[in-house]
A and B are shown apart, each in its own frame.
Chain A
Amino acid sequence: MTEFDRREFLTCCIVSWAATLAPQVGAAADTTASAPPALTAADWQRILRELFPHERVDASLYLPPAESLVAAGRKDAATARLLASVDRAAGVAAIAVSPAFPLLRQTMVFAFYGNPAIWNTFGYDGDAWQQGGYLARGLITIDWLPDPPQ
């Protein structure tokens, strides 16, 4: 899959995931007050990095989910209201229990944790098939425990 295919795929995947396995995204808060200016991708990048801090991950890798949120808000008015309900000043602990949190989280899951470019940082190997199975490449790497009887 090319990177472009993968992005297309993940976008469509977010939709089906949101409709199925993910916790449901809450209805937008009914804000009758005049809406604050929409948060920028750079704002979301900072918020997501505070919510899901990974020191070893370059800040630029938080940009795809941030941009995905901005795009989702432009596409749909209800999503825009939901995102506008996020109060940056309240801090991440408040955002984590806000109605927008499930959307922020599932966007992180697909556009950040689902990004193969990040897996190596966490020690996740990803696709094994393209390199051959671990039977040939070394199945057992633990040398700090005794082997079980086989």
Chain B
Amino acid sequence: MTARYAFGDSDVAVVIGSGAGGAVLAHELCARGRKVVLLEAGPQLSIADFRNDEFFAYQQLTWLDKRTATGDWPVARNSPNFPAYMVKALGGTTNHWGALAFRMQAHELTATQTYGRIAGADLADWPIPAAELDRYWTLAEARMGVTGTHGIPRLDFTNNYKVLHYGARRVGYQRIANDRHAINSRPRDGRAACLQLGFCGQGCKSGAKWSTLYTEIPAAEATGKLDLRTGSTALRIEHDPQGRASGVVFADSKGQHLQRAALVAVAGNAVETPRLLLNSASARFPRGLANGNDLVGRFFMKHVNASAWGLFEKPVRMNRGVTMGGTIYDEARHDPRRGFAGGYLLQATQVGVPFFTAVINPTGWGRGFTRFVDNFDHLSGIWLNGEDMPRADNRVTLHAAEKDGFGLPIPNVHVDEHPNDLAIRRHFRQQAAAVLRAAGASDVMEGATLPASHNMGTCRMSADPEAGVVNSHGQSHSVRNLFIADGSPFPTSSAQNPTLTIVALALRQAEYITRNL
């Protein structure tokens, strides 16, 4: 049922990227009768291709093209050529996401009012009222099958959640739940129920987790309107003499092509999206497409992350069951008495021996390290997901010297952490250790800050055209048929995992495009 449109067909909408934002937008446009070409740089995979093997899946799914990292964040030291951890395959990063689907809190959408002025941060409010986002979050939850919403039952709890819940209650936390998973607890919407394999990050072999690979993309194909092109890397967006986007130059195994377009939507994840705009500079847009105000690539955010691993006398077997087992919500409030603005979530997490030894403690050695590995089945992990401060100089730029295989500059991701980010990480380390010890841990190992998976902010949305790259519909302020459909428009990160909001914004954007273009 895949459609085929000519390269010269200037009626098509070209969507770049098949992850949460791009695939939902493509599906919605197709369902409304629009011709869509969906470009995906990675290969077509299927559930049968996935393996419960961390190293194999890393090699199979990860976007491994070289990038560089600078700044004072730990990632620039630990993984200077790997600032962001995302997927290069059909379905994008929905193949490896942990499937936690949270709404933002109303106060998080109005940071300039809630947090006030914070030196060294460039806060901005979301130009969409909370009540309106609520409507789209509700639609997104139904679409993705989020547990604990729409009467969808929760998943069975895991060993790891049992530890988290017990420790959390003992230190006085009140709001703890194994909910808000976009993972089927019962068969629903053509997807099977979760078998609790414990490899959410390696491609869900249960086929229970919401991934666009086997939901949005086949549904879009079934409309007969989708021309899906995998192995197709967008290199440049072209514009006409009036400054409107007119097509996309992309490369596949046969060479380079220009696909003409009536509109272009970029959903390449918040590193590749600004890179593509910057690589699309022209005489008319010398700083890059849609970048007259030099804001493309700025305000990069990725959440403050870290982890903590408790060592228990008795077996835990954290690897049995979903990767993200449940959440403590208490610290997600804004309470400056803790010494920082915004908040964070504590999430039960697990990895296998390969990832534990490779990345959780990337420099560990000796008995202090090996006794944690020796007792792998006695470990329980907690992950930090904290709001990070947007800063104009934390940004994705084009590398001055290094080029990719197409001769295009690779991206550099620069992050200098804000004191608020450091304060959140410190607070988490203390609280996570307290939770683990309250549950019986005799020792706690701190986990390194990992490369960013929650990439946000690099094409900021704003009501004022001078203050951002796109409006609240993800439409470029300066190139009116150019849209951004991933996490790049987020003005602030909030403490919530971003995917539900990316989907909500794509649903809202599809309505806007249908009404106006």
Contacts and interface: CB of A to CB of B under 8 A. Distances in A.
B369 to A, nearest CB: 7
A113 B359 CA distance: 12
Given A122-B377, A124-B319, A140-B158, A1 B354 contact: no
A113 B205 contact: no
A142 B374 contact: no
Contacts of A9: 55-56, 59
A123 B58 contact: no
Contacts of B156: 135, 139-140, 150
Interface residues of A, number: 56
Given A20-B81, A51-B366, A126-B52, A139 B321 contact: yes
A56 B373 CA distance: 11
Contact of B357 (A20, A113, A138): A113
Contacts of B51: 1, 127, 129
Interface in A114-150: 114, 118-119, 122-130, 132-136, 138-142, 144-148, 150
B367 A141 contact: no
A19 B66 contact: yes
Main secondary structure of the interface of A (DSSP, over half): loop
Contacts, number: 182
B352 interface: yes
A20 to B, nearest CB: 4
B358 interface: yes
Residue from the set A12, A113, A130 with the largest chain B CB neighbour count within 10 Å: A113
Interface string A54-88: 11100000000000000000000000000000000
Interface stretch (B159-167, B229-237, B396-404): B159-167
Contact of B162 (A130, A138, A148): A148
B154 interface: yes
Contact of A56 (B78, B154, B359, B374): B374
A22 interface: yes
B50 to A, nearest CB: 8
Interface stretch (B14-22, B243-251, B309-317): B309-317
A39 interface: no
Contacts of B367: 53
B79 A96 contact: no
B315 A125 contact: no
B321 A17 contact: no
A124 B352 contact: yes
B376 interface: yes
Interface string B338-360: 00000000000000111001110
Given A54-B374, A122-B374, A146-B166, A139 B59 contact: no
Interface string B122-163: 000000000000000000000000000000001011110111
A24 B81 CA distance: 8
A92 to B, nearest CB: 7
B334 interface: no
Contact of B159 (A21, A53, A133, A141): A141
A13 interface: yes
A29 interface: no
B354 A123 contact: no
B320 interface: yes
A28 interface: no
A9 B319 CA distance: 24
Contacts of A132: 195
Residue from the set A55, A110, A124, A125 with the largest chain B CB neighbour count within 10 Å: A124
Interface string B42-81: 0000000001110110110010101000000000011111
13 contacts: A13-B56, A17-B58, A23-B79, A109-B354, A113-B373, A119-B352, A122-B376, A122-B377, A124-B377, A125-B319, A126-B52, A145-B439, A150-B157
